[in-house]
Every structure is written in C-alpha cells, then in structure tokens.
Amino acid sequence: MIAITDFGTGHHDDATLTDQQKTFWQGMKLKHPSCYEGQLAYEIFKDEFPELAIALKNVSNPRNTEPSWEELIVHYADVRVFKNNVVTFDERWHYLRERYPREDGVWEACREFQYDLELKLFQHLPFTPEQLKQEMEKNE
C-alpha cells in the first residue's frame, strides 16, 4: 500500500484506514518515498525470510518472465485475498475489472493466466480452490 497516494479518493475512494494503519502508511511513505510494495517487502523480510523476500520483490516485476513457484504462489495469494478475506476467484476478478478498467483483452488474458495457475497449484493440494477459505480458517 506504500505506492498508494490517494486513500479516500480516486480508485481508493472507499478505502478506510484505522489510525494505526494511517500512521504506518504515512511513516513508510516518508521513510521510503520512491519505493513500491515489492521492494519494501523485500527490505522488511530479507534478513529473517530471504526466500520470501525475493519472491515478494520479484512477483510485481513485469519483466520477470520466468517466475518461481514461490512467486506464483505469492501472486495467486494476492488475487484470492481482498480486504483481509479469502474470496472466490470470480469475486476478485469482478472487483479488479470494475475498479481498474483496462483496454479490451487485458483482463481476459490475466484471468486466463490466473485460472491456469490455479489449476496447476491445486493439482498438488488435497483440497479444491473452492475449499481454500475453509482450509485457511482451520489454521487460524
């Protein structure tokens, strides 16, 4: 969220932050003025969780044409989580298309990539994508 400059306006007009979140966001913007989320996540986690830090840094890099499995999982998690909730694939895509309009074909190509990724990921898991939320709740 460090790259967001317009909480309460524009694309984020309905975004609400707690006082603690707002203070954190403002502090991070001052401390890291030209940093994007991936780079900042890398800086935060690189010492304690170096592999995760690299995945977080690389996942948002559009030049990363051969992402690792870890990066793909991070990207998929970003797609399935909305406002601290695990949501269905369709719910998330509906929101993204509404919130961030793109030229014809862009969202369709992204959705196809994500759907294929979902199939690949879940062929290795003992539950379906539709059961993800329940599985996450079991581990809380």
pLDDT of 34 strictly over 90:
no
What is the pLDDT, as a whole number, of residue 11? 63
What is the pLDDT at residue 93? 84
Q: Rounded CA gap, 105 and 34, in Å?
A: 31
The alpha helices in the chain, defined as continuous H runs, are 19-31, 37-45, 50-59, 69-80, 89-99, 106-122, 132-138
pLDDT digits (tens, 9 = 90+) for 73-121: 888 888 888 878 899 888 888 888 887 788 878 888 888 888 898 999 9
| pTM over the 0.75 mark | no
Q: How far is CA 62 from CA 31, 59, 68, 116, 118, in A?
A: 25, 8, 14, 18, 20
Backbone angles phi, psi at 61, to 5 degrees: -85, 110
CB 132 within 8 A of CB 86: yes
User: From CA 125, how far away is CA 123, in angstroms rounded?
Assistant: 6
Give one word for 13, left, alpha or beta, with left for phi > 0 and alpha for psi -120 to 50: alpha
**Is residue 49 over pLDDT 90?**
yes
- pLDDT at position 10 is 65
% of the chain with per-residue pLDDT over 90:
11
